[in-house]
Amino acid sequence: MPTLSKAQQNSVFKLNQPWKWQRLLLISFLFTSVFAPILFLSDKLTYFTSSSEHKEFLDDISSVVSLDHPLKRGSDSGKLNAIQQETGENVKEPRRFVFRDGEDKPPARVIGSTGSKNARSHGNHGKHQSRLEQLIPLQEVQSKHQLGEKSVRSRTHKPTEEKVLQMRDQVIRAKAYLNFAAPRSNSHLAKELRLRIRESERSLGDAIKDSDLHRSASQRMRSMEAVLTKAGRVYNDCGAMATKLRAMTHNAEEQVAAHKKQAEHLSQLAATTFPKGLHCLTMRLTTDFFELQSDKRGITDTSKLKRPDLYHYVIFSDNVLACSVVVNSTVSSSLAPEKLVIHVVTDMLNYPAMTTWFRSNPPGQAALEVLNMDELTWLDPSRGFPSNQPSDSLTPKFRNPKYINPLNHARFYIPEIFPALDKVVHLDHDVVVQRDLSLLWSMDMKGMVNGAVHECSRGGLEHTLDAFLNFSDPVVVSRLDAKACAWGFGVNMFDLREWRQRKLTNVYHEWLEMGKGRQLWKLGSLPVGLATFHGATVRLNGGLMVHGLGYDPLVSRRDIEKAAVLHYDGNMKPWLEIAMAKYRGYWTKFVPYEQPYLQQCNIHP
């Protein structure tokens, strides 16, 4: 092989040198073409994997996000917005805060555009978490997640009463089987039933939920179930058992009716009682009255008593403390107490006590007088008050003072008792005044005599005239409308001039004459009042007075707070021990318990 000279070799090297760089460049391109796809595909694979994790995480979050959230609705616009927020790098987000438990101020961590950049620096998981934080207000998610946890915990820890109900059911079944046995039966089954009933009742006690039961309750339930199974095999005649159960049901209904009648009797009896403290108060006041000289017993200021331009209130009462509450609440609620004139009408027995009380407890700037009804010689009780007592007049219901008290019927003689007055507001002694009532004097009576709060319904029942009067009698049918709305005493505005022109006191007497010898109305003065003022009554605002605080436990607090007058009609008067505690506070706040007379008679809230 011929040997090349050095000059030839140099020329060949110079020729091959460009090809060497070309080969290196080609190899580098080949290397890039081989490894670049691998790197690219691995990055894409990581992205799709994290996207699937992101979707699973969103599915988990969907259980926390409310149904009306945009993510939950799955609208197209929501999806497009989500994609735009994922790809957008320069879009600024509203600043959102992440609160820790118990914090009420924004912490240092802020979710937004800068928060997204910080999150992406922590890897792919941080990227998708920041995207989710951008899509969902984290405060909302966190609060709803906490609510979800609370609801789960409440369902988990909610006290159950399954065992209590099951044990009670077992006792009822056992007693039913025991009644199937012959009277005074001493069979082994009857003895075992009695034993298991006593054990179960002892285990139940006052238990309300399963956690209140004794540890032995489960064992006693199993023992009772075994006895019930045995009894079911013994008493297997279904027809006879059904007949026996019907008889037991009838007997239970009769017992319920008897207990209900007894409860009504006791309620009427309690309503007729006079509390010991009030009796003591009346006696002390009466004693002090007769110890005074005769010229110091009356009310000194009489200048306002007959002025028709003032606001006159009339109260018929034989209860010193109740009348005091009406006076105190009326004066304290008035915007112009100096214009008030209060007339208290009582009987001869309570006149000394009533006079002494208001001498020692004057009503501030208001004027007050106490009248003795028995001194009204022109008032004939034999004509003026109902004499058609029913055959059961000796029952406790008829002995209730609200039915037989002459003061309740004396209000039909207001024009004769106060001949110098044109308008008066009548208040029952079982009311509390919470608002100023001076607007009643400026109202348009529309030519009517009586302004009253109508009650077309009360407690979901119709409150019409046929609930008080006997419309099976032709006299009542010919004069009254059975479906006319009833109204009640409590607060009434009387136009005495119109009353005198219509001679409604004579109408009252006519109704009393027609009622002799027959039962035209129920007990009390309200039915005859509905008949007397029929066609002469104008409706007052229904929100003026709230009824039922002496018998209805469902009167709403909102209605009580809005009303101008609260009426404790019913047997549970606020001065009795049977009063409803939830309503009594509205009455007691007007009682001057610091008064020496009340302290001496041990009258406390």
Which range in 33-47, 256-270, 340-354 is most confidently predicted, on average pLDDT?
A: 340-354
Is residue 107 domain-resident? yes
What the block records as the tokens of 55 is: 């979707």
Q: CATH number, domain at 328? A: 3.90.550.10
Q: From the CB of residue 464, how many other CB atoms can be counted at a distance below 10 Å? A: 19
- DSSP annotation of 110 reads E
Domain boundary among 141, 157, 173: 157
What the block records as the tokens of 255 is: 């017992």
**Do 153 and 281 fall into the same domain?**
no
pLDDT digits 0-9 by tens, 240-284: 778 877 887 888 888 888 888 877 777 766 666 778 999 999 999
List CB contacts of 317: < 8 A, sequence separation 6 or more: 323, 326, 344, 345, 346, 354, 407, 429
281 by Cβ neighbours in 10 Å (0-12 / 13-18 / 19+) ranks as: buried
Is residue 521 domain-resident? yes
**Do 440 and 310 fall into the same domain?**
yes
Is residue 549 domain-resident? yes
Look at 120 and 346; give whichever has higher pLDDT.
Answer: 346
Is residue 129 domain-resident? yes
Helix/strand/coil for 594? coil
119-151 exposure pattern, b = at least 16 Cβ within 10 A, e = fewer: bbeeeeeebbbbbbbbbbbbeebbebeeeeeee
pLDDT digits 0-9 by tens, 301-341: 788 899 999 999 999 999 999 999 999 999 999 999 999 99
Identify the H or E element spanning 423. strand 423-427
Distances in Å between the alpha carbon of 10 and those of 5, 73, 147? 9, 80, 87
Phi, psi torsion values for 601, nearest 5 degrees: -95, 10
Among residues 76, 116, 126, the alpha carbon closest in space to that of 93 is found at 116
What CA–CA distance (Å, rounded) separates 560 from 207?
A: 36
Minimum mean pLDDT range among 17-26, 167-176, 588-597: 17-26
Mean pLDDT along residues 567-574? 92
Is residue 289 domain-resident? yes
List CB contacts of 321: < 8 A, sequence separation 6 or more: 278, 281, 575, 591, 598, 603
Is residue 290 domain-resident? yes
Mean pLDDT along residues 441-453? 93
Domain boundary among 157, 191, 224: 157
**124-135 and 76-87 helices, crossing angle to 10°:** 130
**Do 152 and 281 fall into the same domain?**
no
What CA–CA distance (Å, rounded) separates 548 from 554?
A: 9
**Do 144 and 285 fall into the same domain?**
no
CB 452 within 8 A of CB 487: yes
Domain boundary among 157, 180, 203: 157
Q: From the CB of residue 322, how many other CB atoms can be counted at a distance below 10 Å? A: 22
What's the helix, strand, coil split of the chain in %, to 5? Answer: 55, 10, 35
Is residue 214 domain-resident? no
**Do 286 and 143 fall into the same domain?**
no
What CA–CA distance (Å, rounded) separates 583 from 570?
A: 13
> How much is the CA Rg of the chain, to the nearest whole Å?
44
Residue type, 550: G
| H helix runs in 121-157, sequence order | 124-135, 138-157
pLDDT digits 0-9 by tens, 87-133: 444 444 445 444 444 444 444 444 444 444 444 444 444 444 444 34
Domains identified in the chain, total number: 2
**Do 153 and 282 fall into the same domain?**
no
Is residue 406 domain-resident? yes
Provide the residue range defining the domain that includes 107.
Answer: 57-157
**Do 139 and 284 fall into the same domain?**
no
% of the chain beyond a pLDDT of 90: 36
**Do 385 and 524 fall into the same domain?**
yes
Give residue 178's pLDDT: 83
- DSSP annotation of 5 reads P
Give residue 446's pLDDT: 92
What CA–CA distance (Å, rounded) separates 326 from 431?
A: 6
Which range in 290-299, 518-527, 579-588 is most confidently predicted, on average pLDDT?
A: 579-588
Give residue 275's pLDDT: 85
Beta bridge partners of 464: 485
List CB contacts of 237: < 8 A, sequence separation 6 or more: none
Identify the H or E element spanning 232. helix 217-234
What CA–CA distance (Å, rounded) separates 375 from 348?
A: 8
Give residue 254's pLDDT: 84
Phi, psi torsion values for 95, nearest 5 degrees: -70, 125
What CA–CA distance (Å, rounded) separates 601 from 148?
A: 58
